[in-house]
Structure 1
Amino acid sequence: MPVRTLDHVNIRTPDVPGTAAFFRDLLGLKARSAPGAATMDQGCWMHDPAGHPIIHIGPVDAVYPSDDSFPFTPARGSAALHHVALECDDLPDMLERLARTGRLFVRKDYPPASLTQIFVEEVNGILLELNFRMGAQ
Structure 2
Amino acid sequence: MHLDHFTIRTRDIAGTRDFFRTVFDLQDGERPQAIKRIPGHWLYTDGQPLVHIIGTQGYGIDHAAEAIDHVGFRIEGYGAFRQKLERLGIRYSTMDLEELQERRLFFRAPGGPLLEAVFSEPVPQETHHDFH
TM interval, shorter chain, is 0.7 to 0.9
Counterpart CA distance in 2 for 1:127 and 1:5 is 16
Is structure 2 residue 69 aligned with structure 1 residue 82? yes
Q: Give me the whole-angstrom Cα distance separating, in 2, the residues matched to 1:112 and 1:72.
A: 28
Q: 1:72 to 1:86 in 2, by over 3 A?
A: farther
Q: TM (normalized to structure 1)?
A: 0.76
Aligned to 1:52: 48
- For the 8 Å contact 1:7–1:85, the answer to whether it is kept is yes
The alignment of Structure 1 onto Structure 2 pairs a total of residues equal to 119
Q: Which amino acid aligns with 1:51?
A: G
Aligned-residue identity in percent:
29
**Superposed CA offset, 1:32-88 (max 9, x none):** 2422238xx93211111x111100011126xxxxxxxxx8424255xx111010001
Q: Matched residue of 1:135: which SS?
A: coil
- How is 1:1-137 mapped onto 2 (pairs within 5 angstroms)? 4-36=1-33, 37=36, 42-48=39-45, 50-60=46-56, 72-76=61-65, 80-135=67-122
8 Å contact from structure 2 (residues 102, 122) kept in 1: no
* Runs of 5+ unmatched residues, structure 1: 62-70
- Seen in structure 2, the aligned counterparts of structure 1 residues 76 and 60 have a Cα distance that, compared at 3 Å, is closer
Structure 2: where are the runs of 5+ without partners? 124-132
Equivalent-residue separation in structure 2 for 1:113 and 1:74 (angstroms): 31
Cα distance in structure 1, aligned partners of 2:63 and 2:100: 25
Q: CA deviation at 1:18?
A: 1.0
2: distance between equivalents of 1:32 and 1:43?
Answer: 11
